Amino acid sequence: MEALLEKAANQPAATVEAPPALFNFAAYLFRLNEARAAKTAYIDDTGSATYGELEERARRFASALRTLGVHPEERVLLVMLDTIALPVAFLGALYAGVVPVVANTLLTPADYVYMLTHSHARAVIASDALVQNVTQALESVEHDGCQLIVSQPCEGEPHLEPLIAPLLEELIDAAPPAAKAAATGCDDIAFWLYSSGSTGKPKGTVHTHANLYWTAELYAKPILGIAESDVVFSAAKLFFAYGLGNGLTFPLSVGATAILMAERPTADAIFTRLVKHRPTVFYGVPTLYANMLVSPNLPARADVAMRICTSAGEALPREIGERFTAHFGCEILDGIGSTEMLHIFLSNRAGAVEYGTTGRPVPGYEVELRDDAGHAVADGEVGDLYIKGPSAAVMYWNNREKTRATFLGEWIRSGDKYCRLANGCYVYAGRSDDMLKVSGQYVSPVEVEMVLVQHGAVLEAAVVGVDHGGLVKTRAFVVLKREFAASEILADELKAFVKDRLAPHKYPRDIVFVDDLPKTATGKIQRFKLREQS
């Protein structure tokens, strides 16, 4: 372990040493940051915590879990806003060998009923603002003694209702720090994340202690160049695989400082943190970058300190990347990851960004594009994306059919379509289940969307297939920039705009103007909902 700790900070990705067989990720982080006890680890909306305070409170929570009768390998559902309490609970559970299940905070009681039933959680921790939905869910399930724990509200905000459960903070204060971490192995189950539900019901994706380590070693350090001196801020929340790496795994693996924000990531909320805390690394999604650029409150370059940004969740339009870099002077590294792979495995590189592409494979991961028969496709042809790498999940919990269809030996079938250019960069072509066959030829919705957003009136677009007299045609749902109004003339102009740039069969036969697009909490467009409307 000592040798591993010494090498962790600067070792090249190609020669990264694997974690030892006996490995607890929380304990690893705490030992890695022993000399940084007085350094600020987190800043949230109400205060801050040093590395020493983070470790002590996490170890106290590990003790509290044992006092509550929650045993190693049992699950604890975390329905928590992005405050310091969330990493405390997550790391404390890991330290105790308990499995935290980080849940989307924007769900309905019915969704939490599903997660509580599916995970058989022994306890659920809910931020005060979310207690009402969680309580309603608990009343609707046979929860077998599942205990509700409430995390205190943000400063100045009243409780929604009288206290009905113990406070997380009081449980932590009353417990002694756990003397030692659970003797977990690198391949032991550490935590779950539920998939975002962009194509239907979410799946409980099971990850190990070592998976967190690998994402930091293979992506954060060599690709982002993240260092102790960085201040990082993720618009993507911690319940998202992308956000968990951005706001927890990566900064804590190098001793950086992370900014947490409980509120919804609007452009104005982001601007406030960018100017006040001056993060050097910012993690966003394409929709947010687009909204930032059209906002009248966009900060000047001199008012921020970003040295690098990242994007994931959807393909980043070339125009958005180029405009952002022109304004702020820093690049956006567009990449793709997945809940199953935990973080980004294809990425652009600083100083060599090719906007309009997802870049090249992250060292340590292998990528293949295959046709329907499983054979490799040539450069320039669209194929199904398969990935192999050490951060891959173990399975989908209690879902044998989906597990067998996705986890194929060492390889994971991503469900994404890509093509590789002659220069080795990969270009996103959409989800496999979103691909359309028009006039006997495949059409990538993403390709059409990328052209539409180049039009000066378009903020966002999503394309789906609809039935036109037994034939599939494309329909585009378009969100306009605030200064433009919907009209038949503009719809015809957009159709002609696409026709001029793509093959004739690809232009959208219908244009539907909408105020917004249905998305998951992680920013992915839910095209299946648009198809239901068609």
Tell me what percent of the residues of the chain surpass a pLDDT of 70.
Answer: 91
Tell me the pLDDT band of 141, cut-offs 50, 70 and 90: confident
Using alpha carbons, list the distances in angstroms from residue 503 to 318, 452, 498, 509.
20, 14, 9, 13
> Averaged over 454-465, what is the pLDDT?
92
Under a CB-based contact definition with an 8 Å cutoff, are residues 148 and 164 in contact? yes
Q: 529 in helix, strand or coil?
A: helix
Q: Is the pLDDT of residue 471 over 70?
A: no
Tell me what percent of the residues of the chain surpass a pLDDT of 90.
Answer: 78
CA distance 509 to 157: 50
Following DSSP, what letter does each residue of 131-198 receive, concatenated? HHHHHHHHHTS--TTPEEEEEPPPTTPPPSSS--S-BHHHHHHHSPPPSS----BTTSEEEEEE---T
End-to-end Cα, the chain, rounded Å: 57
Tokens 């189950």 belong to which residue? 189
Under a CB-based contact definition with an 8 Å cutoff, are residues 96 and 182 in contact? yes
CA distance 230 to 234: 13
CA distance 281 to 268: 18
- Quote the DSSP letter at residue 506: G
Question: CA 240 from chain center: how many Å?
Answer: 4
> Averaged over 134-163, what is the pLDDT?
74
Burial of 76 (0-12, 13-18, 19+ CB in 10 A): buried
Average pLDDT over the chain, rounded to an integer: 91
- 405, HSE (Cβ side, Cα atoms, 13 Å): 6
Tell me the pLDDT band of 200, cut-offs 50, 70 and 90: low
> Averaged over 510-515, what is the pLDDT?
94
- Quote the DSSP letter at residue 277: T
Under a CB-based contact definition with an 8 Å cutoff, are residues 369 and 420 in contact? yes
pLDDT, residue 88, reads 98
Long-range contacts at 443-449 (CB < 8 A, ≥ 24 apart): 443/474, 443/505, 443/506, 444/382, 444/417, 445/474, 445/527, 446/315, 447/502, 447/506, 448/474, 448/476, 448/498, 448/502, 448/506, 448/507, 448/508, 449/476
Question: CA 230 from chain center: how many Å?
Answer: 20
Q: pLDDT higher for 197 or 149?
A: 149
Phi-psi region of 185 (alpha: psi -120 to 50; beta: other; left: phi over 0): beta
Apex CA 195: angle with CA 527 and CA 181, to 5°? Answer: 165
Nearest to 216, CA basis, from 260, 244, 253: 253
Q: Is the pLDDT of residue 436 over 80?
A: no
Long-range contacts at 172-175 (CB < 8 A, ≥ 24 apart): 172/57, 172/60, 172/61, 172/64, 172/88, 173/60, 174/64, 175/60, 175/61, 175/63, 175/64, 175/67
> Averaged over 120-135, what is the pLDDT?
95
Q: What is the largest CA-CA distance in the chain?
A: 70
Its sign, for the CA torsion 356, 360, 365, 371, is positive
CA distance 54 to 52: 5
pLDDT, residue 502, reads 86
Amino acid found at 297: N
Q: Is the pLDDT of residue 5 over 70?
A: no
Nearest to 375, CA basis, from 384, 365, 364: 384
User: What's the pTM?
Assistant: 0.85
Nearest to 455, CA basis, from 522, 533, 513, 517: 513
pLDDT, residue 521, reads 65
